[in-house]
Amino acid sequence: MIEKKPLITHMYTADPSVHVFNGKLYIYPSHDLDLDIESNDNGDQYMMEDYHAFRMEDMTKSPVDCGEILNVKNVKWAKMQMWDCDCAEKDGKYYLYFPARDKDGMFRFGVAVADKPEGPFIPEDNYMKGSYSIDLCAFKEDDGSYYLTFGGIWGGQLDQYRNNVWSKDNKEPEGDVPAVCPKIVKLADNMKEFAEDPKDLVIVDKDGQPLKGRDHNRRFFEASWLFKKDGKYYFTYSTGDTHLLCWAVSDKLHGPYSYGGVILTPVLGWTTHHSIVQYKNQWYLFYHDCELSKGIDNKRNLKFCKLQFDADGGIVPVDGSIK
């Protein structure tokens, strides 16, 4: 079995987004380059410049590398740092959503289109109007509409926005001030534009109060992922500087989402990022750590394991340590 073992070993991969297309699993990770760059809180070490797609049918075998599907040199508006991406399918077309820094150093979202899940993807000339920050998740609602959840503080710039407006003077909230919220936005029918302004996706405690800025063990940092199970919406995310993956649940797409608990305990390396998918009647957690590079955080590798739910729908925590 290859559960909890490095899944791809010929290149460094991180931030997995995983979906079932045409009865097969497709993995869309970011691609860490083998560079010697000192790490910092702004994420300057993550100089990713392209994406590969990977196809996986047998959970006992390594996935097939379908090759490069998009490179920053082909994205007219982008300068650098193509971080976590995601993919959605509509009417036989595949839409790759990705963040990158524009010529002014601000993160924006691009969209690229393909006829097949393995690409190649052709990017639009301009970024999506009104987009900002990082770490997209593409979610299909039961009625066929599509949404993006997104956001990341610190290097992801989300903490510098208030009501979708950026200011360099905005900082991450502290103390009893409500924490920065991840965002959710509906996509237009053409899948290339926002249909509305992004809204807060609020995570609350057991008393129904928004999580506070000081609550670093539970507040949102980055790595949003949204899925639906048994009529419930699960929003899952990373706490960043406390190195946890957590989950929250709601009866409504737009929430509020009640904090549920930890999905994955800290892994080797600073960042933690994931996706959750059901394949052949089994739920799986895909994530990354730094086992291949022996802890060098800007050189990560993908892993996966089975994910279990308890009788009440809670996610059973997974041990992220290397044993």
Rounded (5°) CA angle 262-268-19: 60
Q: Which one-letter amino acid corresponds to residue 166?
A: W
Q: Which one-letter amino acid corresponds to residue 187?
A: L
Instruction: Characterize the bridge pairing of strands 282-289 and 274-279.
Output: antiparallel
CATH topology of domain 12-306: Tachylectin-2; Chain A (2.115.10)
Q: Is 89 a catalytic residue?
A: no
pLDDT, tens digit, 9 for 90 and up, residues 259-269: 999 999 999 99
**SS3 category, 307:** coil
Q: Of how many residues is the chain composed?
A: 323
Tell me the chain's radius of gyration from C-alpha atoms: 18
Q: Which one-letter amino acid corresponds to residue 123?
A: P
Burial readout 251-266 (b: 16 or more C-beta within 10 A, e: otherwise): eebebbbbbbebbbeb
Q: Is 115 a catalytic residue?
A: no
Strand order in the sheet with 301-306: 274-279, 282-289, 301-306
Closest CA to 220 of 272, 271, 152, 169: 152
Peptide linkage before 123 cis (omega within 30 of 0): no
pLDDT, tens digit, 9 for 90 and up, residues 131-154: 999 999 999 999 999 999 999 999
pLDDT for the residue 1: 60
66-89 mean pLDDT: 98
294-315 mean pLDDT: 97
Give the Cα separation of 198 and 195 in Å (integer). Answer: 9
Lowest mean pLDDT, pick from 36-40, 80-84, 92-96, 112-116? 36-40
Lowest mean pLDDT, pick from 32-41, 58-67, 225-234, 270-279? 32-41
Match 């979202």 to its residue by tokens: 109
Closest CA to 141 of 112, 98, 184: 184
Side-chain-side CA neighbours of residue 142 (13 Å)? 8
Per the residue annotation, which of 15, 84, 159, 200 is the catalytic one? 15
Per the residue annotation, which of 86, 118, 135, 222 is the catalytic one? 222
Q: What is the mean pLDDT of the chain?
A: 97
